[in-house]
């Protein structure tokens, strides 16, 4: 599995959990919402860590104009999500919990979409398959 396939798989997994969270929310099932929130946070913590430790530095190394800026923005988008996660963990007010989860989900969906439509295609162009495979192994090991 190369780096792009691995990271896209992570995105799809978290999108699946978002759908389940929305269903739990629609059904007013608070216990299930909290359980899904915990699963979502585990996924996001792992995914942002391996991107920041392994993936983004490798992308920056390419020195492609525009791509370096997109990565810098990506790191700040991760930061916003981490702040939201910290706040959500301590929340007892259910309506605020739901509102913050909605904002977090929207942020992550936008961010993942940008990686898939902007970073990944440029990477296919500028990074050889051998390096993408090697990076996929490094990401899997970091997980």
C-alpha distances (whole Å) from 109 to each of 16, 56, 113, 119, 142 are: 11, 18, 6, 15, 23
Least gap, CB of 119 to Fe ion (angstroms): 9
Nearer to Fe ion, 33 or 51 (CB): 51
Positions touching Fe ion (CB under 5 A) are: 51, 115
Least gap, CB of 107 to Fe ion (angstroms): 11
Nearer to Fe ion, 2 or 51 (CB): 51
Cα 43 from chain centre: 8
Nearer to Fe ion, 49 or 126 (CB): 49
CA gap 17, 75 in Å, rounded: 22
CA gap 15, 17 in Å, rounded: 5
Least gap, CB of 92 to Fe ion (angstroms): 29
């Amino acid at each position: 599995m190369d780096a792009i396939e691995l990271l896209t798989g992570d995105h799809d997994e978290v999108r699946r959990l978002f759908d389940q969270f929305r269903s739990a929310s629609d059904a007013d099932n608070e216990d299930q919402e909290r359980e899904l929130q915990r699963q979502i946070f585990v996924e996001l913590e792992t995914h942002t860590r391996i991107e920041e430790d392994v993936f983004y530095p490798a992308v920056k190394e390419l020195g492609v104009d525009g791509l370096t800026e997109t990565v810098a923005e990506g790191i700040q988008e991760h930061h916003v999500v981490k702040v939201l996660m910290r706040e959500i963990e301590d929340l007892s007010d259910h309506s605020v919990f739901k509102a913050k989860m909605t904002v977090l989900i929207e942020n992550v969906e936008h961010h993942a979409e940008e990686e898939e439509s902007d970073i990944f295609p440029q990477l296919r162009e500028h990074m050889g398959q051998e390096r993408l495979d090697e990076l996929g192994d490094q990401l899997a090991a970091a997980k």
